Amino acid sequence: MSQPMPASPIGVFDSGVGGLSVLLELRRELPHENFIYVADTGNAPYGERGDDFVQQRTLAIARYLQDAHHIKALVVACNTATTAAVSELRSAFPDLPVIGVEPALKPAAASSQTHRVGVMATRGTVQSARFEQLRLAFSDGTEFRPQACDGLVRAIERGVEEDPAHATAPAEIRALCARYTAAMGSFGQRTGDIDTLVLGCTHYVFIKDELRELLGPDVHIIDTGAPVARQTRRILVQRDTLADESDAAHAGQVRLYTTGRLTALQAAGQRWLQLAPEQCATLPA
């Protein structure tokens, strides 16, 4: 297999369309790079699956991206896949830089004034040993209140195709957001309130407006897209594989693939990244 070159694409992978929030930040940070994105929607949601299944799918998609597209780096834009499979990925592909995403507990602990931080994530993330290690590492003086948000990823995925022309989330998404934020406790700036919310799933970035409406303007909402994009740039610089900015004819290309419904990915790509439907295709589940 040929060695990756600066013109080689970056692979980006998620269980569904949520990782498009990370791809959005990657394109802002690295506008001259080419990207191949895979949404494993036909097997989602990962957060309600077991680790063995997530590891198997993650390794299979990484193999596809490397063999078919000769990627120079892989961004695992899925918190559940990161917690379940990033170590296995790095062992299986020792020459491939792998950048994962994790709930941003460190910056949340540093910025919280009330020392109460809510964390919305999938059940797979919340119950993982990796998340517990992360929580313990930054819990000195900060109380984290993790909440497994069953059903929310499914609702977001459905909402993309059912209402592609509007930013208003379906009533199901609003109801789930209200239920899960209430379960964490009171939000605000008073003593004992949660003043910071960590979005521990890349899907949740796309419902930030709904969460803001529920929680008010003073609660700090943190996601990981921009830090992941900056880390990806640092790794490419270290490896001397940044795309050549002078090669405009072959730069900035994006291709999206899905193992689920093509129309859902096309709707998400158009809404959030302004991509043409022709830039999307299907893969076998």
Say what angle helices 51-69 and 79-92 make with each other, to 10 degrees. 60
Cβ pair 186, 193 in contact under 8 A: yes
Residue 168 in this model has a pLDDT that exceeds 50: no
Between residues 240 and 169, which one has the greater pLDDT?
A: 240
pLDDT digits (tens, 9 = 90+) for 193-220: 999 999 999 999 999 999 999 999 999 9
Provide the pLDDT for residue 169. Answer: 53
Between residues 1 and 175, which one has the greater pLDDT?
A: 175
Residue 81 in this model has a pLDDT that exceeds 80: yes
What integer best gives the mean pLDDT of the chain? 92
Q: Provide mean pLDDT across the span 134-146.
A: 96
User: What is the per-residue burial (b if ≥16 Cβ within 10 Å, else e) of 177-192?
Assistant: beebbeebeebeeeee
Residue 218, CA distances (Å) to 148, 177, 221, 246 in order? 23, 17, 9, 43
Phi, psi at 237, each rounded to 5°: -65, -45
Rg value, the chain, Cα: 18
Provide the pLDDT for residue 250. Answer: 66
d(CA 255, CA 275): 9
Provide the pLDDT for residue 49. Answer: 84
Phi, psi at 260, each rounded to 5°: -110, -145
Residue 251 in this model has a pLDDT that exceeds 80: no
d(CA 65, CA 231): 20
Provide the pLDDT for residue 5. Answer: 80
Cβ pair 279, 20 in contact under 8 A: no
Q: Provide mean pLDDT across the span 157-167.
A: 63
Q: In what order do the strands lie in the sheet with 143-148?
A: 143-148, 116-121, 196-199, 220-222
Report residue 44's pLDDT band, with 50, 70 and 90 as the boundaries.
confident
Residue 51 in this model has a pLDDT that exceeds 70: yes
**Global confidence as pTM:** 0.89
Residues annotated catalytic, as ranges: 78, 201
CB atoms inside a 10 Å sphere around CB 140: 7
Provide the pLDDT for residue 26. Answer: 97
d(CA 222, CA 205): 9
Residue 51's SS3 state is: helix
**Cis preceding-peptide flag for 94 (omega within 30 of 0):** no
